[in-house]
Chains A and B, each alone.
Chain A
Amino acid sequence: MTIAPKAPKKLSMKQRYSALTRDLDWEPSYVSTDDMFPYTTFEGITIHDWTKWEDPFRLTVDAYTKYQAEKDKRLYAVLDGFAQSQGHLSLTDASYLNAMKLFLQGVSPLEYQAHRNFAYLARHLNGGGPRFAALCQSLDEMRHLQTEVHTLSNYNKYYSGFANYLHQHDRVWYLSVPKSFFDDAVSSGPFEFLIAIGFSFEYLLTNLLFVPFMSGASFNGDLPTMTFGFSAQSDESRHMTLGLEAIKFLLEQDEANVPIVQHWIDKWFWRGYRVTALVAQMLDYMLPRKVMSWKEAFELYFEQQMLNGLFQDLAFYGIRPPLNVQEAIDEKEILSHQVYWILYQFSHAASFTTSMPSDEHLDWLSATYPDTFDRYYRPLWDKERRNIAAGGRHFDRGLPQLCQVCQIPMGFTEPGDPTTICQRSSDYNGEHFNFCSDGCKNIFDHEPEKYVQAWLPVHQIYQGNCGGGTIPDVLAWYKMAPGDGGEYLGSPDHQSWLGWHDMAEQTGGN
């Protein structure tokens, strides 16, 4: 009599997930848990039971790679088609690409930094569930960097400002804003990073950071970037879930975690919000065809979805909305105008161009910001119009005062007074430090030892660490070629665009 071997038992989805992820975890026998995971105690966070981490996606490596490969195939088909059909000629205007230059220089390198730190979490978190979630996110972030670079590389063949984005990310004054933000996060502990990036960046502010760029692409004929956005969207929803799971897990594990997490939310809301200042001006000033105003985006994605949604749920755990959130709300009518005014007068040292808004654009700004634009900002553009008519163009002739924490030139104003620049300062170890806001001052005062190390571009230039003492020296050190920055009208991009569209004669070659 022969006994037929039993057919292999087919595992259910849940069993399969367990077998391929959490069941691969083990308890150490010849080293202590503390030796194996040395970095999960020093921040003061208490975790009683790592198995309580929920992984709602139940993703396994084979399923993950299959999904991602399919998405990549679709994206690269679009990229090929766009390149072969000279799709760049159907953008709304060459000036639209300033938004993408800012994205490639400022945001894409952050994806790589996120990749690195999530890889670190994939090794150093005690629980099998969160380690696997961090592993997937680490791979996602690497894929995002790669696909963003591939997506935008086609424009690099025809337009200036794209070529040296990585070199510039580490050196240029406005890129020190996102760079120092992420450096701050990766140099913190694993739990603070989870709240800084997993929660605050990927959940609280993600729709303000990411969606405006992708919607801008969709409204301005940039099919590749729009397709990249779709390709990243399912990853982003997974990242949002991880961020939300991370905060709930920390809050549920021990009540003593609540004040620590609250401080991180306060800090990282403000850090992230200051980075979104670059997005604010992009939405209101850089897109030839507008999607929505910064004010509308802030109201929808932050006030409605986060303050009136998320924070109602977090109140259950004893978490209140972030400190200084009212300042951010009050700034929504003035933020984009202040930031563009900064970039406009320093764009001779940038790897994107700016231009005075057209009459139609100014009218849109007046209509969109009826309480502030005509009162505070139109007069500046009227003066600049006279300046241009007299042969000028407003480029600053020196270097600006920078905030020690967010590193943005200190152009933000006092709460409730859009006419007076906000000046805050602290003295630490006998040295004087300047801040743009109460939010940035609070962050410094909590950890002054950290922020005294800030690599402030203006100070570094004055110390002679940036190629030399003149603007051409510094621009050479930035690897900026003539035409990469400055005024858009008459720039190489503008001239090429007119030439390609055979419009030179109609517009008098202007």
Chain B
Amino acid sequence: MSVKSIGEYSFPSRSRQELYGDDQLVHVWWKDNPWFCAAACFRAPKAMTWGDFWNALVIPFMEEDPDFDPAHEFAWALEGTPFTPDPAATLESLGVTHKCVISMASAA
């Protein structure tokens, strides 16, 4: 299906990756914790390591939950597929793409 219009209808996306330079948007969804009403959206460099992403962006956000324990072993999934992030690997090499959803679950 497509738009019915009075002329040619083709416009660029307002959130395409190139608008963020070397960065991209990454969603982190704490799946079994309703304290956060929705997944968080971060802007992060593609070349950022998972360790830096976790320490610099995710932890400061999640600490708003008084029960958050950064040392907890979370079960991770990237777009629904379980994965084990290596702290030294970059987001790009882990397969993290623009506007994708990474989920974390407290329960194994």
Contacts and interface: CB of A to CB of B under 8 A. Distances in A.
B31 A421 contact: yes
B4 interface: yes
Interface string B5-44: 1100111111111011000010101011011111111110
B13 A410 contact: no
Contacts of A423: 29, 39, 101
A370 interface: no
B31 A449 contact: no
Given A411-B37, A411-B38, A463 B97 contact: no
B66 interface: yes
A39 B27 CA distance: 41
B13 A429 contact: yes
Contacts of B25: 459, 462
A397 B4 contact: no
A394 interface: yes
Given A454-B14, A456-B15, A433 B99 contact: yes
Given A342-B38, A380-B35, A421-B29, A396 B64 contact: yes
Contacts of A376: 34
B35 A400 contact: no
A369 B96 CA distance: 40
Nearest to B34: A380
Contacts of B46: none
A423 B36 CA distance: 15
A493 to B, nearest CB: 24
Contact of A455 (B14, B32, B100): B14
A460 B19 CA distance: 10
A484 B98 CA distance: 34
B108 interface: no
A398 B42 contact: yes
B61 A421 contact: no
Interface stretch (A136-144, A298-306, A383-391): A383-391
Contacts, number: 131
B54 to A, nearest CB: 14
A387 B66 contact: yes
A400 B40 contact: yes
A376 B32 CA distance: 12
A35 B29 CA distance: 53
B84 interface: no
Contacts of B99: 431-434
A447 B1 contact: yes
- The DSSP consensus for interface residues of chain A is mixed
What's the interface size class on B, roughly?
A: 35 or more
Interface residues on A, range: 35 or more
A248 interface: no
A421 B64 contact: no
A419 interface: yes
B2 interface: yes
Secondary structure dominating the interface of B: loop
B71 to A, nearest CB: 20
A380 B67 CA distance: 12
A433 B19 CA distance: 15
Contacts of A328: none
A399 B101 contact: no
A401 interface: yes
Nearest to A455: B14
A90 to B, nearest CB: 35
B1 A345 contact: no
Interface in A401-424: 401-402, 409-411, 419-421, 423
A423 B64 CA distance: 23
A42 interface: yes
Given A390-B66, A419-B34, A421-B29, A399 B13 contact: no
B98 A341 contact: no
B60 interface: yes
A273 B20 CA distance: 33
B88 interface: no
A253 B16 CA distance: 42
A454 B15 CA distance: 8
Nearest to A377: B34
A363 interface: no
B17 A338 contact: no
B94 to A, nearest CB: 16
A43 B5 CA distance: 7
B108 to A, nearest CB: 17
Contacts of B16: 431
Interface in A41-81: 42-44
A228 B27 CA distance: 43
A284 B99 CA distance: 33
Contacts of A364: none
B41 A458 contact: yes
B70 to A, nearest CB: 14
Interface of A: 38-39, 42-44, 189, 338, 341-342, 345-346, 376, 380, 383, 386-387, 390, 392, 394-402, 409-411, 419-421, 423, 425, 429, 431-434, 445-450, 452-456, 458-460, 462-463
17 contacts: A38-B6, A386-B66, A390-B66, A396-B37, A397-B61, A400-B38, A401-B39, A420-B31, A421-B29, A421-B31, A431-B13, A434-B27, A448-B2, A453-B11, A453-B13, A462-B20, A462-B25
Closest 8 CB pairs of A and B: A452-B13, A401-B39, A400-B38, A411-B37, A409-B38, A462-B43, A459-B15, A342-B37
